[in-house]
Amino acid sequence: MTGRAVLVTGASRGIGRAVAEAFAASGDRVAIHCRASVRAAEELRDALPGAGHVVVLADLADPDAVRTMVDQAADALDGLDVLVNNAGVFTPHPIFDTSYEDWQRQWRATLDTNLVGAANVIWCAARYMRERGGRIVNVSSRGAFRGEPGQVAYGASKAGLNSLTQSLAVALAPYGIAVAAVAPGFVETDMVSEHLRSDRADEIRAQSPFRRVAQPAEVAAAVHWLASPQAEWASGTIIDLNGASYLRT
């Protein structure tokens, strides 16, 4: 088989879709993961250039489903060379407007998908990369650094994902596996479309001195580079992709 074997989680839309398109355009074979958006995932698979692309399903909050999904992707693609952990959930739960019971549900659902789910995908995928090396790129968020006051579990999950990225960059380097992350700000996707149509739209765009939000393809370009053979020395890196809307030292 030609090209690399690439698994992208949450690939049926938004950033994940753009990432899948970027890898396919460079000749790679892509496993498009989704939880429930099967039709959109299948339409993307059929539209991608090249051959050998597949759709794999799993609720990332279910560890057994994760293991089955990764095995299916590896079987279909003849191994795994690249993992992009993109899938995530982002739901409002302001502390004083959320019941204690719902607070618990929001934290469990968010961490189980965004952090524990991502860690489980890595555990499974790394076993296919152990002998031949590979690349793992995690999609984090600006919110890990500046905070997410209305979605605090989301911000915490992405901060945890950053720490996971850096820990595994050290742990997996002896096996030729580089691990890095990107931390986007607002990106024009379905997840934030409601905000971009609201009264806050101008304020959101004004957060960046470019006075716009990112396009998914801009994030995908960074992910694609981090997964390249030339980017091994960037292992452990977290790249900010927020149009100078939040600067950290």
Q: Are 178 and 232 in contact (CB under 8 A)?
A: yes
Structure tokens at 161: 């994902």
List the catalytic residue out of 100, 154, 175, 246. 154
DSSP assignment letter at 37: -
Q: Give yes or no: 154 in active site.
A: yes
Task: Give the three-class secondary structure for 84.
Answer: strand
Q: How far is CA 215 from CA 16, 24, 182, 210, in A?
A: 12, 18, 14, 13
Structure tokens at 210: 């470019």
CA distance 31 to 92: 30
Ranges assigned E (strand) in 62-126: 82-85
Q: Are 231 and 180 in contact (CB under 8 A)?
A: yes
Q: Are 184 and 15 in contact (CB under 8 A)?
A: yes
End-to-end CA distance of the chain: 44
- Residue environment code for 89-113, b if the CB has 16+ CB neighbours within 10 A, otherwise e: bbeebeeeebeeeeeeebeeebbbb
Catalytic positions: 154
